[in-house]
Amino acid sequence: MALGTALWSFALVVGLLTLTPGLDTALILRTAALGRRRRAWGVVLGIQTGTFAWGTLTSLGVTALLTASQLGYQALRWAGAGYLLWMGARMLRDTWRRGPGPAEAEEPELPAGRDSLREGWRQGTLTNLLNPKVGVFYVAVLPQFIPAGAPHLATGELLTSVHLLLGLLWSGVLVGFAQALRGWLRRPSARRTLDRVTGTVIAGFGLRLALEG
């Protein structure tokens, strides 16, 4: 397989994966829709940081050890499930704490401290790195697209960069779409609905990760 063919083929596979709604999509949409633009881009960059780390580790052969080690895989799976369940439960808890207000007045803009690029990056990175399925995907898929005789690490990181580029482009679309909903989401009831839906989705991902072998 020539390098050019490998790049286009890999782009098709990860492009379909990127467009499939999932945990990353829910997290980006929810953060951006609440007006936290800097934090939303922090989440995007964190997710891409995790993806780059998985791609690099796979190119070095490290993640193959993870999939071969039952103890290591299970430890990462339980850590990821616990983190997602905690994050989803906290979102749901906060919506019930706020409760319905006496009037559907618009909420003020969020304080700057809650719109942190660094906090978003931390959340996105943890969410990605604690998901062993990303590592398993890269172990199963990435080596198949590295041409025979090509430098393994350099080619693996080049392919991973294709995934990062597609992820950034699609994330930009998601952030723009979510920003268009901000007028509606300034209503407290709409924010509660969004947090309850997103919290349920994230907790659902955590529960599924915990129950799967």
Distance between CA 84 and CA 203 in Å, rounded? 6
Tell me what pLDDT residue 168 has. Answer: 96
Neighbours of 196 (CB within 10 A): 15
Q: Which of 143, 171, 133, 148 is nearest to 46 (CA)?
A: 171
Tell me what pLDDT residue 173 has. Answer: 94
Could you identify the residue written with the tokens 């919290």?
199
pLDDT tens per residue across all 213 residues of the chain: 688 888 999 999 999 888 888 888 889 988 888 878 899 999 999 999 999 999 998 888 876 666 666 777 777 778 878 888 888 888 888 777 755 554 444 444 444 446 789 999 999 999 998 887 788 888 888 888 988 888 888 999 999 999 999 999 999 999 998 887 777 766 777 778 877 888 888 888 888 878 875
Distance between CA 204 and CA 212 in Å, rounded? 12
Q: Quick one: tokens of 68? A: 């071969």
Query: What residues does each domain of the chain span?
Result: 3-98+113-211
Tell me what pLDDT residue 113 has. Answer: 44
Tell me what pLDDT residue 67 has. Answer: 63
Neighbours of 21 (CB within 10 A): 10
Q: What is the crossing angle of helices 132-141 and 70-98, to 10°?
A: 130
Total-model pTM: 0.78
Phi-psi region of 61 (alpha: psi -120 to 50; beta: other; left: phi over 0): left
